[in-house]
Amino acid sequence: MFNFIRQRIELKLGVVLLFVVFIPIIIMSFMSVNLILKGIQREVQQRIVSDLNVAVAIYDKIKHQLRYTIRDQSSRVKYYFDTDTLDDLPAFLKAVAEQNNLDILSIADRRGKIIARGNQSLLKGDSLADRAYFKRAIDGEDIVSTELVSIHEMQAEGIKKDFTEALMIKVVMPVKEPDGIVRAVIIAGYLLNNDHSIVDLITDLIGAQAAIFQRETIVSSSLRDLNGARIMGTKTNQKIVETVLQKGKQYIGEDEVFGTSYINGYIPLFNANNQAVGSLYIRASEEGFQEIKRKVMSSIIFMAGFSILLALAIGFYVGRPLTMAIESLRQGAIAVANSDFDHTIKVDTDDELKELADSFNTMTAELKEAQKKLLQSEKMAALGQIAAAVSHELKNPLTGIKMAAYFLRDKVNSADTEANKSISDIESEADRANKIVMEILTFSQPISPIFNTVKINELLGEILPVQEYQAELHEIKVIKHLQEIKSVIKADRDQLKQIFDNLINNALQAMGAGGELTITSMEERDFIKVKIKDTGVGIPEENVKSIFQPFFTTKDKGIGLGLSIVNEIVKKHQGTISVESRLGQGTTFIISFPKFVNQA
């Protein structure tokens, strides 16, 4: 065999080339796989952290919605005190508790004595005076926290459960006089044990499985076993207990369940005394990322084997382009490891190297799409914090600016046109900034609609005169086709006005000066429809599918929340909204609401 190799120079060149090419291929393959796997690992970590942040934001939003619900009822409670009708309080509390699925809803006087309960109206007189949260509420503080509730407290509140201890979202709200003196305290609670609505909502929104732990035990879960049953009562390990419950820190780790690899995230839930009493848990499968790992490694192995055969078959002349292709792959792996998902590998051949490059490019495209989704989740998770900051930091200063401009106008000579124009500009820009603040607040903390019967043509009749005046200023003709509609819809009147005002304002802005605005109302089977058509610039086809997404806008001014808010309001009214648009010809929005049929 060796003599034969010596006699054939072509084979000797092939063998030499084999060793020259094979070693660099192995080294570069190892580097590529290592870099790619590190990049994938970072993506997995970022994904679970992002999902955990979104889950916390959802949980916090539910807590604060409960706070707002109780705050809305405080004035009603004060009414019963003012009118000395405290005997009617239990019935009122029971109705509110049933309407909002509350497990606890009680009233205590300033001394801490329970004077009324919604769930067990006959039991009262026990005292909360020694509770820390009651003392804070008497000092005027609103408290919303996750609390452990003992069996004695549950029995006092009429909760019939088999728990010796339970986990609860609790709101403690002072009822204040106009001078700030606390008249009474409202105590409300939402039991988390065996209630899976929160974890199911988290799973629906982010795709990851979720659970709530009471201390170290699962009490609410969207996790499923091999039979599809919810996993309940499972305890976490001592390491997580020490990190999450004892130290109050977030924990990220990996494990394997039923043969599937998962990455887990825990974040502590604190009570009013800032003690960790449980945790929120997220679990995401690594199967998708494992598949990418297998594809990358298979592609690398295939490339190495193919290169060896190619070196033996055709020698030196094929070795050089092969090495160039491998270098291109290495550069691509480095680019992906540095989160450059726009990098593509170009191979001008029609062989397996081209297929490998296409597989690599497909992988980078998938990773780029995953990164976009992660960034969107992080943005939405931070929205609540942004809205709160905007509200506290901008709303009051904007009011101050408006008041200052108002007083400044009184001080400026009316003949000084330049100064008055500047003051008008200040007022206009302050109004625009305030509108942006309100849009963010409306989007992040939507108001629940108050449903009443509404006649759609009557509502349009209230809106259109103001809009017609605005249209006339811009020489836009308003055409109304309001059919006779005898049916009504069940809706929040103010929110419907917000929908139509927003859509008509958008139409006027799209036309600029001149054009026609057509408003049509009609009955179609079980629905009442309104069409708003303009002859403006139209919407590009590639933008039509994105116009209802938060923060999408093509305008120089605005933040892209108007149509997103409109879409959410329409959904809350069980309606639909669609758009038809052609560039240069205009846009038509079609809003459809179900008719209200009185069942009485």
Quick one: pLDDT at residue 3? 43
- Sign for the pseudo-dihedral over CA of 560, 566, 572, 577: negative
Q: At what angle do helices 9-82 and 316-337 cross, to 10 degrees?
A: 10
CB 460, CB 500: distance < 8 Å: yes
Give domain limits for the chain.
Answer: 2-48+289-370, 85-188, 195-285, 385-444, 452-594
Q: Say if residue 568 is exposed, middle or buried (CB neighbours under 10 Å; 0-12, 13-18, 19+).
A: middle
Each residue's pLDDT tens digit in the chain (600 positions)? Answer: 434 433 344 444 456 656 666 666 666 666 766 676 666 667 777 788 888 888 899 999 999 899 999 988 888 888 888 888 888 888 888 888 888 889 889 999 888 898 888 875 556 667 787 787 888 888 888 999 999 988 888 877 777 777 789 999 999 999 988 888 898 999 999 999 999 999 999 989 888 889 999 999 999 999 888 888 999 988 988 888 999 999 999 998 876 654 566 788 899 999 988 899 999 999 876 665 566 666 666 766 676 666 666 655 655 554 455 556 666 777 777 776 776 767 777 766 666 667 777 777 777 777 777 666 666 555 655 565 565 556 556 655 766 676 766 667 667 766 667 777 777 767 666 666 666 666 565 555 566 788 899 999 999 988 888 888 888 888 889 899 999 888 999 999 888 888 898 888 888 888 888 889 999 999 988 999 999 999 988 888 888 787 877 766 766 666 666 777 788 888 988 899 999 988 888 999 999 999 988 755
Q: Which run of H or E residues covers position 268?
A: strand 260-270
Q: Provide the b/e sequence for 68-80 (b: ≥16 CB within 10 Å).
A: ebbeebbeebbeb
**Fold of the CATH domain 452-594:** Heat Shock Protein 90 (3.30.565)
Distance CA(220)–CA(163), nearest Å, equals 13
Domains 85-188 and 452-594 belong to one CATH topology: no
Task: Give the model's pLDDT for residue 309.
Answer: 66
CATH architecture of the domain with residue range 195-285: 2-Layer Sandwich (3.30)
Q: 85-188 in CATH: which number?
A: 3.30.450.20
What ranges in 445-561 are assigned the alpha helix state H? Answer: 456-473, 493-511, 541-544
Q: What is the pLDDT of residue 221?
A: 93
CB 232 within 8 A of CB 193: no
Residue 379 is predicted with a pLDDT of 62
Name the residue among 450, 452, 482 with its Cα closest to residue 598. Answer: 452
Closest CA to 67 of 141, 157, 6: 141
Instruction: Name the DSSP letter for residue 550.
Output: T
pLDDT in the model for residue 522? 93
Q: How far apart are CA 34 and CA 26, in angstroms?
A: 12
- How is residue 230 annotated by DSSP? B
